[in-house]
Chain A
């Protein structure tokens, strides 16, 4: 069976060019579809279940990172193995530097045949090992899935510009107080970080939740994460960061999805598949 791929790229000429270059570098590869934005990329990927994804980082609607994070959660792992993910970018200073330092594969636009051939080689090797290990036992399949998820995690962290699993040494000092506005009010409250149980990114805000109150801040989650102690606050979802010591229990529902109970909050917190490794029973 021929390997399959999906291209997500909002500029039609560039999508066409990548397809042509791929045809030369990997003749067997069958490009099932090209999507012009993040949402339709997710939709098409879930419909076609390709083996390789080429995602542009900057796309309208949902960007490449958002699309990948959503796919990681919604991918039907029982039907098909998690696909290989390759980011394509024209110029993203931070992402490119992060990719470079962590030797993560990515493709720069304009796509150059030489460079693309290397990526293709790596993809072929990864898919070969995946197939070998997926066959013998379900345990091995789990292991393969975990490896792919770890890869995605690194890729997403690097592309988001926060340096992946190894945060930069010269990060800013951990935040002690948060200046937040009360929901619906104009007063700014100083909230001690020790009282915060979790953060949740909503549309344009981040909700800051303590045992008794809810506040709002406008700092992007990425920026906030850089100022939090990673030992104390864990990212468990693209939009959620929780205080690890407040986690009381982890539940798995019938669909296999994880949820957290927090001491002091009634809500159930969803855990993304990408961060499921944090809660594997010891």
Chain B
């Protein structure tokens, strides 16, 4: 992630700081009240000592933390700097606060000899404990806020990726051209129109729900390919020929849904559509040493010519990612020039997904 320098004292940081200050004031009032009650001391003096120590510590630590790391996303100094800052805050607050308190109560300035041993220790312990507690409290508050914003960001990214995937699968150009063909068939050849509508129905249902299921039988995957290819062959007429070859014993093999779809789409869009005379697509599944091998070959314009056309990368990336998710390093995909021109894509992965 790029680290962008933000202004240290931007509005949201200052707001956060003031909120901390307010909480500190309330907290200090509680301490002063507790001390005044337990030690039967002077309310006003306790309040001045407590508030002075607390507010100076707060100012020192909060301004310090923004100076050190206000320009970053996590508003807390890394490593030992954080501890040093708290220690500094305690020391400065203790000395400064006591000085103000002493001035207020007209006592000799910072004359700790005047205190009994126990009183000095109590003041130090209270300052230290209170500061550390407050810092930890604010730190966790800030941290959880940061985590929440990171989570939001991740969710937004995921949604965007899903939208992009959907847009590629429901490619508008394909959809509208299919509808245009359907419109013609409705009057010219109603039975064929009904068949085409059924295919479109299957295709849409699969595309819209497919990404949610984890696996389906290879036979179902081939049926969806047939839907898509049949739709395309209505559109392309004689320019598209295809064969689907699935041995019976492999029909039940579970595969991630729509795994093959992007490969066939690429074959059509980047291989056959640009070619004037069209061509053929062959999809074959076979078994080899406990692995499933699926080949998608076409007689299109070939990898070299297709590389310049945009958009093929996303589909292939999808296939690679899904293979990696389900089969780890056991899933492989290769792309090569076909034996008779065109492109040959080969997937190879274990018959059973890893447990």
- B164 to chain A minimum Cβ distance, whole angstroms, is 15
The answer to whether A12 touches B237 (Cβ under 8 A) is yes
Residue in contact with B273 in the complex, picked from A39, A40, A60, A90, CB distance below 8 Å: A60
Whether A11 contacts B236 in the complex (CB less than 8 A), given A37-B276, A60-B275, A204-B308, comes out as yes
Cβ of A27 under 8 Å from chain B: no
Binds B, one of A13-21, A226-234, A249-257: A13-21
Cβ of A110 under 8 Å from chain B: yes
Whether A90 contacts B180 in the complex (CB less than 8 A), given A11-B235, A11-B237, A58-B173, comes out as yes
- Name the B residues within 8 Å of A218 (CB-CB): 308
Cβ of B179 under 8 Å from chain A: yes
Binds A, one of B13-21, B181-189, B250-258, B288-296: B181-189
The answer to whether B274 touches A61 (Cβ under 8 A) is yes
Whether A13 contacts B173 in the complex (CB less than 8 A), given A60-B275, A204-B308, comes out as no
The answer to whether A17 touches B180 (Cβ under 8 A) is yes
- Name the A residues within 8 Å of B273 (CB-CB): 58, 60
Contact bitstring A106-129, B, C-beta under 8 A = 1, else 0: 000111000000000000000000
The answer to whether B183 touches A110 (Cβ under 8 A) is yes
B161-218 residues with Cβ-Cβ distance < 8 A to A are 172-173, 175-177, 179-181, 183-185, 188
The answer to whether A109 touches B177 (Cβ under 8 A) is yes
A43-102 residues with Cβ-Cβ distance < 8 A to B are 58, 60-61, 90-93
- Name the A residues within 8 Å of B235 (CB-CB): 11, 13-14
Whether A17 contacts B237 in the complex (CB less than 8 A), given A58-B173, A90-B176, comes out as no
The answer to whether B180 touches A60 (Cβ under 8 A) is no
Whether A110 contacts B179 in the complex (CB less than 8 A), given A13-B235, A61-B276, comes out as yes
Residue in contact with B177 in the complex, picked from A11, A39, A40, CB distance below 8 Å: A11
A60 to B235, CA, bound (A): 13
A204 to B301, CA, bound (A): 14
The answer to whether A91 touches B237 (Cβ under 8 A) is no
Whether A17 contacts B183 in the complex (CB less than 8 A), given A11-B237, A60-B273, comes out as yes
Cβ of B234 under 8 Å from chain A: yes
Residue on B with the closest CB to A56?
B177
A37 to B188, CA, bound (A): 24
Contact bitstring B273-291, A, C-beta under 8 A = 1, else 0: 1111010000000000000
The answer to whether A91 touches B172 (Cβ under 8 A) is yes
Contact bitstring B243-266, A, C-beta under 8 A = 1, else 0: 000000000000000000000000
- Number of interface residues, chain B, beta carbon within 8 A: 23
Residue in contact with B173 in the complex, picked from A14, A61, A92, CB distance below 8 Å: A92
- A276 to chain B minimum Cβ distance, whole angstroms, is 30
The answer to whether B276 touches A39 (Cβ under 8 A) is yes
A13 to B189, CA, bound (A): 11
Whether A16 contacts B308 in the complex (CB less than 8 A), given A60-B276, A61-B274, comes out as no
The answer to whether B276 touches A14 (Cβ under 8 A) is no
- Name the A residues within 8 Å of B308 (CB-CB): 204, 218
- A111 to chain B minimum Cβ distance, whole angstroms, is 7
- Name the A residues within 8 Å of B173 (CB-CB): 58, 90-92
A58 to B331, CA, bound (A): 36
- Name the B residues within 8 Å of A90 (CB-CB): 173, 176-177, 180
- Name the A residues within 8 Å of B183 (CB-CB): 17, 110
The answer to whether A91 touches B184 (Cβ under 8 A) is no
Whether A60 contacts B179 in the complex (CB less than 8 A), given A11-B235, A14-B184, comes out as no
A220 to B237, CA, bound (A): 31
Residue in contact with B234 in the complex, picked from A13, A91, A110, CB distance below 8 Å: A13
A13 to B237, CA, bound (A): 8
The answer to whether B179 touches A13 (Cβ under 8 A) is no
Contact bitstring A1-40, B, C-beta under 8 A = 1, else 0: 0000000001111101100000000000000000011011
Residue in contact with A60 in the complex, picked from B181, B184, B237, B274, CB distance below 8 Å: B274
Whether A14 contacts B275 in the complex (CB less than 8 A), given A58-B173, A92-B173, comes out as no
The answer to whether B172 touches A16 (Cβ under 8 A) is no
A37 to B237, CA, bound (A): 14
The answer to whether A110 touches B276 (Cβ under 8 A) is no
- B193 to chain A minimum Cβ distance, whole angstroms, is 11
A110 to B181, CA, bound (A): 8
Residue on B with the closest CB to A204?
B308
The answer to whether A14 touches B274 (Cβ under 8 A) is no
Whether A109 contacts B276 in the complex (CB less than 8 A), given A11-B237, A90-B173, comes out as no
Whether A109 contacts B176 in the complex (CB less than 8 A), given A13-B234, A60-B275, comes out as yes
- Name the B residues within 8 Å of A14 (CB-CB): 177, 180-181, 184, 235
Interface CB pairs A-B, < 8 A, 5 = A13-B235, A13-B237, A39-B276, A40-B276, A60-B273
New A-B pairs, 20, CB < 8 Å, besides A60-B276, A91-B177: A10-B236, A11-B236, A13-B185, A13-B188, A13-B237, A16-B184, A16-B188, A17-B183, A37-B276, A40-B276, A60-B273, A60-B275, A61-B275, A61-B276, A90-B173, A90-B176, A90-B177, A91-B173, A110-B179, A110-B183
Closest 5 CB pairs of A and B: A110-B180, A109-B180, A17-B184, A90-B176, A110-B183
Measured CB to CB, the residues of A under 8 A from B are 10-14, 16-17, 36-37, 39-40, 58, 60-61, 90-93, 109-111, 204, 218
